[in-house]
Structure 1
């Protein structure tokens, strides 16, 4: 049986997992036919549960986000599975991806945050687009625990 975690503890543990992972899995819906589409992107998980990531203007996931901005994002430490399943942790963030315009006052500070996590992610983003996933729900799953630790954000 696992302990109940507070909202702050869930966000802190999710953030810590995000710091250790360069990339995560972004799930979108195909703009053309609505079928699921997944891709790997470099990212930065912010302490408030938001996810920052960049993309070019032409990739499938950019077209998908522009058509249907509701997305899901997976962060995990799957490399531990070979040695210790009990330490396999995952975070799923469900929400809405928003493009941050280059002329927005938020653009530079958010880009610097992404750069602080991964310089190459920032280089690619400067050449393309910056997205912010505004969370509706964050789910933390730890090892073999049956519990799903959930933070609900509402309709952000």
Structure 2
């Protein structure tokens, strides 16, 4: 009986710790952030753009507005997404782009990870909360010939990186 109680205690502790990690990450992201995105291709800096990120609560308890504004004179762009908690026990989230496209995100401590493929391009996206900074990175590369290898490598050809500050 004591063993059963202890296992239930540990499981509940894990759920509580997951909840604390989720809440502290999201709460830490709330607000308006500004930074400069640096855009690299094959290791070389190609461009940069000022970016503003606004994270705010919505009227739903497990949903947040995640609005990114690319403040470019040449090509201004707004990505007005929603981040939604999908499964608290798995630290699983969804980024809803609002056009039927949803990306799976996974929270580990203070970092949100997303890996996906579109049009034979593999992309990774991360947000990492570090004290008073929020670091956003996207890497991408074209999917290569898989062949019959035991290990498949995917090239990282592009990097977009911004260090946001409130």
User: Using CA pairs below 8 Å that are at least 6 residues apart, which structure has the higher relative contact order?
Assistant: 1
Higher strand share: 2
- Based on CA coordinates, which of the two structures has the bigger radius of gyration? 2
Give the TM-score normalised by structure 2. 0.30
